[in-house]
Amino acid sequence: MALSDKELNEIAYLARINIDKDSFPSLKGELEQILDLFEKLNSAETNEVEAMSHPLNLSQPTRPDEVTEEDQREKLQETAPSVQSGLFLVPKVIEGEN
Partner 1 sequence: MTVFNESWEAVIGLEIHVQLATNSKLFSGASTNFGALPNTQACNIDLAMPGVLPVLNEEVLKMAVKLGKALNANINSPTSFARKNYFYPDLPKGYQISQMDKPIVEDGFLDIELEDGSSKRIGITRAHLEEDAGKSLHEDFEGKSGIDLNRSGTPLIEIVSEPEINSPEEAVAYLKSIHSIIRYLEISDGNMAEGSMRCDANVSVRKVGSEELGTRTETKNVNSFRFVEKAIQYEIERQISEIESGNTITQETRLYDSQVNTTRPMRTKEYANDYRYFPEPDLLPVVLEDSFIEKTLEQMPEMPNEKKLRFVNEYDLSEYDASLLAADRDLANYFEEVTGESKSAKLSANWIMGELSAELNKENLHILNSKISAKQLGQLINRIEDSTISGKIAKDVFEKMWSSGNEVDDIIEKEGMQQVTDLSEIESMVSKVIDENPDQLKQYLSGKDRLFGFFVGQVMKESQGKANPAQVNEILKEKLKE
Give the count of beta carbons closer than 10 Å to the beta carbon of residue 32: 13
User: At its nearest, how many Å lie between partner 1 and the CB of residue 70?
Assistant: 9
Helix (H) or strand (E) holding 26: helix 24-42
- Selected from 2, 14, 41, 44, the binder of partner 1 by CB under 8 A is 14
Judged by CB under 8 A, which stretch of 13-21, 22-30, 37-45 contacts partner 1?
Answer: 13-21
For partner 1, give the closer residue by CB, 48 or 66: 66
Give the count of beta carbons closer than 10 Å to the beta carbon of residue 27: 15
How many Cα atoms are found within 13 Å in the side-chain-facing hemisphere of 36?
9
User: At its nearest, how many Å lie between partner 1 and the CB of residue 34?
Assistant: 15
Query: Within 17-76, which residues bind partner 1 (CB under 8 A)?
Result: 51, 53-54, 56, 58-69, 71-73, 76
Q: Please, are residues 39 and 3 in contact by the beta-carbon 8 Å criterion?
A: no
